[in-house]
Amino acid sequence: MAKGSGSGQGKELAATTSANVYRKILLSYTYVGIWIFLSFTVIIFNKYILDRKMYNWPYPISLTMIHMAFCSTLAFLLVRVLKVVEPVVGMSRGFYLSSVLPIGALYSLSLWFSNSAYIYLSVSFIQMLKALMPVAVYSTSVLLKKEFFKSQTMANMVGISLGVAIAAYGEAKFNSWGVMLQLGAVAFEAMRLVLIQILLTSKGVSLNPITSLYYVAPCCFAFLSIPWLLVEYPLLRETSSFKLDYLVFGTNSACAFALNLAVFLLVGKTSALTMNVAGVVKDWLLIAFSWSVILDRVTSLNLLGYGIAFIGVCFYNHAKLQALKNKEAQKKEQADEEAGLLADQKLERLEEDRKNDSQA
């Protein structure tokens, strides 16, 4: 009877463990699905608003400022009023000006340039150009001495760049100004990501997407107001485009904010690497949507080039995963060694105590 009850309990425990594992896997896929859907929606929505052949409201700075104002307001409510997220401890004015402000400036430039590119380029081609992000991040990290130069990694970066170059060569509606804007957006975003590591992470400051918006979105709005006054305000005044469709722009801003919440969930419940892999899936979905629904032309040379870049990005993500695993293994080995030394020291002390007791 005892054996029967023991085996029954074992089966129940195994079934519970299996159910928990499946539940975690299901939740992870749910978070990935939500992030892909919202990221996909924001990109297509922004394209719809800015494209002259669609909604025809080609004011990327204004659109970005609307997003920043909306996100600043909601982030303030979540942090200060509802207290869903705690503000960062020790965020002094000096630290904000020296560390957060430069990141905000780069973020505003990245958003401005990337949204501007939707006026001139197809969604599919923009996703292909975004494959250069690992190249920009690695190159910036090496220049700022955040990472060491490795010939194997650089060869991988050259392969990605070559793939993107082939895709650009095969682009049916190539626009040099649009390409320059998107490449500028990639460069500014890469600098922002590296500066986050240098100015914040290395100093022990961690910002989740909500606190990031709370601190960064207001200064982004302030930075963008300068080019807005010089570039878009005169055009908006001439064309009387100040009258906004609150349903369109409210929904668009809500999607942009929800995307930040989805990032918080995805990275918090899985990992940043999972988001990178999910991003690759999202890019292919966007290319397919751009070709089949928006009817953007995607050439065979486009697909060949992006396929080469895609393989390079996958190899880069795999190399990062292996490096993380090796780092964790080293930490575990070091912890085991320290635990072993402590155990040996404890045994030695016990033996000494026994000897002292026997002598007494």
Three-class DSSP labels, 321-353: HHHHHHHHHHHHHHHHHHHHHHHHHHHHHHHHH
Rounded to the nearest integer, the mean pLDDT of the chain is: 86
For the ranges 171-185, 198-212, 244-258, 287-301, the lowest mean pLDDT is seen at 198-212
Pick the most confident of 171-175, 178-182, 270-274, 316-320: 178-182
Residue 85's pLDDT is what?
Answer: 85
Sorted by where each begins, the domain ranges of the chain are 12-57+244-271, 58-243+272-346
Residue 31's pLDDT is what?
Answer: 83
Residues 20-38 pLDDT 10s? 767 777 877 888 889 899 9
Judge residue 20's burial from the number of C-beta atoms within 10 Å of its C-beta, 0-12 exposed, 13-18 middle, 19 or more buried.
exposed
Q: How far apart are CA 178 and CA 165, in angstroms?
A: 15
pTM listed for this prediction: 0.82
